[in-house]
Amino acid sequence: MTIGILYQEELKQYDFGPGHPFRGDRYIAFYKFLRENLPPNETYKILEAEPANEEDLLLICHQTYIEFTEQYYRAAHMGLTYPGDFTLFHSADNMPTGTPGKIEEAARLVVGQAKKACDLVQAGEFKKVISVGGGLHHAKRSYGEGFCLYNDVAFSALHLMQNYGLERILILDTDAHAGNGTAAYFYEEPKVLFIDIHQDPRTIYPGTGFADQIGAGDGRGFTINIPMPIDAGNDAYELAFDSIVTPITQEFKPQVIIRNGGSDPHFNDGLTQLGLTVSGFKMIGERVRELTKICDDKLIDLIASGYNERILPYAWLALISGLTGIDIELEEPEPIPQAYRADHAFYKAEKVIEEVKLCLKQYWEYLS
């Protein structure tokens, strides 16, 4: 089965500037790594997309936010100062340093890729499409944060609902940080099951994503947060899939799966404190691939995060290997410390899983 991979060199413009944790060279490095380790053949096809237009952005953002974001970042790229209160629209971590890339234009491209991924999957041209650079899950309708300008994860689900009439969409967020932006879009929406596996929010940005945050109104029970303990590794993640993700997905019966998340749950990411190895990322991909059997193999996958640039291409390709079933031998690029050779946080993860089940038991037959 040929998969589609959305990538183009312009993604490198999603770059907040020298000294910032989020640089655009990650995309160039990954594409080079991909071609070296999996040369183009019948297994995948590189695709390009058009940037999102104004109508697309209005599906997920308010007009005033789009206008400020467009003008501010275009001025920053040219070394100019744009008048207006940055803090009304963005958090400090979205402030570029030095001379940034064409961030806003690249952010439009990321949303455009998400749109094309949805359209290709729904048209049956590909069962699985991967958007390199996608997964900007912290952005909200009128506020950008966490290095995210426009939320392509939310766009994907809303586009599928509005233009294809889908009524059961699973968003699975495996980024180390809770997807607070995505959660805000769908907190009261029963058509979207949002499952978010992330580091304990007491220990990491954005400080949300607790087990008892389960949605509101008609959407109560359709937001599922699994806050993993510090150092949680491969075994703890497998437990989360076995105990929560897989059985509830089987009960929900999604028509399509949207997954987002990159390499930042790795034990040596630098900005996080989780314990996955490269083989753990492949395992996550394999588990998601198994879940797609529920929805005719339909998957939209969005990959951008990770802050150790040596680890990042290995973890991303391991995810893709698992998601697609393409067999690639990938060794751990750095020695695994003794502390991570066994999952010492497993017993803490068991307690988290029990807490999650308790919070959700009245909403899912499997847990009742």
Q: Above 90 in pLDDT, residue 339?
A: no
What's the rounded mean pLDDT across residues 307-316?
A: 97
CA distance 83 to 99: 17
- pLDDT reported for residue 40: 77
pLDDT score recorded for residue 284: 98
CA 54 to chain centre: 23
| pLDDT band per the 50, 70, 90 thresholds, residue 327 | confident
Sign of the Cα pseudo-torsion (6, 39, 320, 100, in order): negative
Domains of the chain (ranges, CATH numbers): 3-11+24-47+110-367 (3.40.800.20)
Tell me the C-alpha distance between 221 and 366, whole Å: 13
- The pTM (predicted TM-score) of the whole model is 0.98
| The pLDDT value given to residue 200 | 98
Terminal CA-CA length for the chain: 38
> In angstroms, rounded to a whole number, what is the distance separating the alpha carbons of residues 15 and 255?
34
Choose between 272 and 84: higher pLDDT.
272
What span, in angstroms and rounded, lies between the C-alpha atoms of 226 and 356?
7
Choose the catalytic residue: 137, 138, 159, 198: 138
138 in catalytic set: yes
Confidence of residue 42 (pLDDT cuts 50, 70, 90): confident
Distance between CA atoms of 315 and 330, rounded to whole angstroms? Answer: 9
